[in-house]
Amino acid sequence: MLETFRTLRREGVIGINERNVRYVNALNPRKLLVRVDDKLLTKQLADRAMIPNPALYGVIANARDMKKLPEMINHPDGFVVKPAQGSQGKGIIVVESPLKHGWRLASGRRIALDDIKFQINNVISGMYSLGGQPDKALIEYRVKFDDVFGKISFKGVPDIRVIVLKGIPVFAMLRLPTAESDGKANLHKGGVGVGIDIATGLTMNAMQHDRIVDVHPDTAHPLENIQAPYWDEILLMAARSYEVTGLGYIGVDIVLDQERGPLLLELNARPGISIQIANRKGLRFLLEKASKLASEKLTAHERIAIAKTLQATGAAQSEAVVGAAA
Contacting residues toward another protein, per CB under 8 A = 1, 4-5, 7-9, 11, 13-18, 21-22, 87-88, 90, 118, 122, 125-127, 132, 188-190, 207, 210-212, 274, 276-277, 280-282
- Amino acid present at 155: K
CB nearer to another protein: pick between 100 and 109:
109
* Contact assessment for residue 39 and residue 229, using Cβ atoms and an 8 Å cutoff: no
CB atoms within 10 A of CB 105: 17
Least distance in Å: CB of 306 to another protein? 23
Residue 145 CB neighbour total at 10 angstroms: 18
Residue 77 or 319 with smaller CB distance to another protein? 319
SS3 labels along 196-231: ECCCCCEEEEEEECCEEECECCCCCCECCCCECCCH
In angstroms, give the least distance from the CB of 15 to another protein: 4
Half-sphere exposure of 324 (CA within 13 A, CB side): 8
User: Which CB sits closer to another protein, 56 or 315?
Assistant: 315
Output the smallest distance, CB 71 to another protein, in A. 26
Cβ 22 to another protein shortest distance, Å? 6
User: What gap in Å lies between CA 89 and CA 69, rounded to an integer?
Assistant: 22
Question: Closest Cα partner for 192 from 217, 168, 162?
Answer: 217
Query: Is there a contact between 106 and 95 (Cβ–Cβ < 8 Å)?
Result: yes
Strands (E), 45-136: 56-60, 79-83, 93-99, 102-105, 110-111
Nearer to another protein, 125 or 227 (CB): 125
Q: Which of 21, 139, 154 is nearest to 73 (CA)?
A: 139
Rounded to a whole number of angstroms, the minimum distance from the CB of residue 99 to another protein is 23
Identify whether the C-beta of residue 192 lies closer than 8 Å to the C-beta of residue 213. yes
The nearer residue to another protein, 12 or 262, going by C-beta atoms, is 12
Pick between residue 190 and residue 229 the one whose CB is nearest to another protein.
190
Given the complex with another protein, which of 5 and 313 has the nearer CB atom?
5
CA-nearest of 22, 33, 29, 42 to 82 is 42
- Find the shortest distance in angstroms from Cβ 165 to another protein: 16
Shortest Å, Cβ 249 to another protein: 14
Which of 8/32 has CB closer to another protein?
A: 8
Output the smallest distance, CB 90 to another protein, in A: 6
Gap between the terminal Cα atoms of the chain: 17
Closest CA to 238 of 178, 303, 155, 182: 303
